Structure formats: C-alpha cells, structure tokens
Amino acid sequence: MKQAFLRHKFFGDKAQHKLFESFRHEVLGVTGPRIRHHQDLAPLMSDYDMLVCGSDQIWNPSIQKGLDPVYFLDISGSDHAHKVAYAPSFGRSMIQPEYHADLAALVSKLDGVSVREKSGLDVLKAAGIKCEHVQVAPDPTVLLGNFDALLDDDADIDNSVFCYALRTDEVIRDVAKQAAQLSGGPLISPRSIHQRWSDIGQGVTPGPVEWLRMLARARVVVSNSFHGVALSVLLNRPFIAVGLPGKRAKMNTRVQSLLTIVGLTDRILDIADPPAVCALMNIPINWKAVNARLAAVRTDAEAYLDNHIAQAKFKQKTRYK
C-alpha cells in the first residue's frame, strides 16, 4: 500500500495526466508556459486592465508562508488594473489572529471584494475589515450552470454509487458502502494523488470529462468534497454530503454554506447511520426549487461581475486618454 501511494504521488497516472492536459487546452483554453514564480507575473501585467482572483481556498493561510499576496492580486506592475476578488474561500470559519494585519492590508488594495461563504465575512470582520460592500458569491461552477456540452447524451442513469472522497476515508467509506448495498449497483471512486487509503469500492482514474459523466449517471453521489457536492447539485443528482470528522470538521462550513443557499442542509451526514442513509437514498429532492435558488444567486453574482467589468472599462478609457 505504501509503495503504491508513493508511486502514484511522485509519478501519477500518465493516461490521467494526459486527459487533464487535454482538458486544460481544449476546453478551458489555457495556453502558454506555466507560471511558477510570482516575479514572472510582473512582465505580463501591462496586458491586462482587469484582474480577478478566486475561487476555492486561495485565502487559506499556509502554515509555512502565511497569506500569498499573489492570491490578493498584489503583483508588481499591476497598479493600473481594476482588481476584483470573486468568491475566494478561507476554507474554515476563522484564521489565526497573527494573519489579521496582513489580511487587512492585502484586502484594502482590492477594488471589489466577495467571499464564497458567509463565514468568510466573519473572518474579514475579525481582521477589522468593514464588510458593508462585501458580497457573498457562489462558487464559479454555479456560474457555469449548464454542463451539457461535456456530458454524454446517450448515457442513462444507472445504479452506481459515485464516491468522491478527499482528505480522508473516515465516515465516507461506510456511508458509501451502505449506499451501494441499497442501490445494488457498483461503488465507484476516483483516485486522488493525495489518497492515503485503499480504494473505496472500484478505484478509477478518470479525466475531468469522464469524472463528470460518472457523477452525472450515478444513482447517488456520496462526497465529503465541496465540489463533489456542488456538481451534484448543479447536475441535479441525488447526493449525500458527508462531513469531515475531527480536526477537519472546521472545513465543513463550505458545504454547509452551499447547502443552506439551496435549502438542502438535511442531506449532510456526520456519521455512518444506515437508517439515515436509507432515508436520503429514497427521499426525492425538489430540483425545481433548488434550481430557482441557484438562478437567483447566479443573477446576483453576474451583476457583481458585470458592475466591475464596467468599472474596469471606465478606468481603461481614462487611462488611455
């Protein structure tokens, strides 16, 4: 097991790596050399009138390096640009007080600030930052909305359980096994380069498109990952969100915030409770109501971005006069 983990960590799966690289180029349109050092960004800044940072845990301080100024768009040569934070996350409900001064200084340089979770507002306030104009914005996956171009039109829903586990297999392994027993179908789990546990059911190494298609055709998704839950909601797939246990529980605010928005907090389990798993497998979700809530937050988020794009254009006009 240890040898397999080390081999995967340092060498990965070559076929999967190719699928990810293909996705970056062909779907995301990412081109050019990979930038690995902050100083390499400075020569590029003159080409941009607006910079956006986000999303996920880019504002979660590193134990070794603290807050990364690049993730606050504090980049040499970028003073002319309109700078906007779109839905960054701290990944937790609080950060250590020793980071407050740096956080306040970095946020003060942004022209627009939003955070992904309401708990992010509390973190900003604890650092002495006024939040009257700070907006809670949904994850960028919510803005995308429709993933039909990536899905297989001919694929039917099957009896599989798609288990997407990150950080730990505690609790989620038992929940996924219970769900698979009830569904009578295969238990499938995509592997992670950081995985330190044996596969939960059948381990697979899909690329992004294959991953999405597996999720989309599953009878139920079981996940302790924010994006595993978010994509289940967006694709209207029944799901069970499993809370991270122990010291990692502070990271559960991300999923709780999302499910509060769409009115599905009853689909979170913190323990492997067979009756609760059975109930969630059989209770239908009112997707019409969920989609209406998603549409509302999507509209607000688009308005936030449109407003800052307009401000950036105005700055551009005055800059080149």
- Residue 308 in contact with residue 86, Cβ under 8 Å? no
> What is the model's pLDDT at position 214?
96
Which parts of the chain register pLDDT below 70?
1-12, 319-321
- Residue 183 in contact with residue 220, Cβ under 8 Å? yes
> What is the model's pLDDT at position 320?
65
Rounded CA-CA distance 96/127 in Å is 10
Which residues lie across from 183 on neighbouring strands? none
> What is the model's pLDDT at position 1?
46
Rounded CA-CA distance 95/67 in Å is 11
What is the pTM (predicted TM-score) of this model? 0.87
Q: What is the pLDDT of residues 29-79, one digit of tens each?
A: 988 888 999 999 999 999 999 999 998 899 999 888 899 999 999 999 999
Going by C-alpha positions, the residue among 6, 9, 26 that lies closest to residue 207 is 26
Going by C-alpha positions, the residue among 301, 303, 298 that lies closest to residue 146 is 298
- Strand pairing of 135-136 and 239-242? unpaired
- Where does 148-285 sit in CATH, by number? 3.40.50.2000
- In the chain, where are the structural domains located? 33-137+297-319, 148-285
CB atoms within 10 A of CB 154: 5
> What is the model's pLDDT at position 192?
81
> What is the model's pLDDT at position 64?
85
- Strand pairing of 135-136 and 50-53? unpaired
Going by C-alpha positions, the residue among 18, 242, 250, 53 that lies closest to residue 137 is 53
Q: What is the pLDDT of residues 85-97, one digit of tens each?
A: 999 999 888 999 9
Rounded CA-CA distance 242/255 in Å is 9
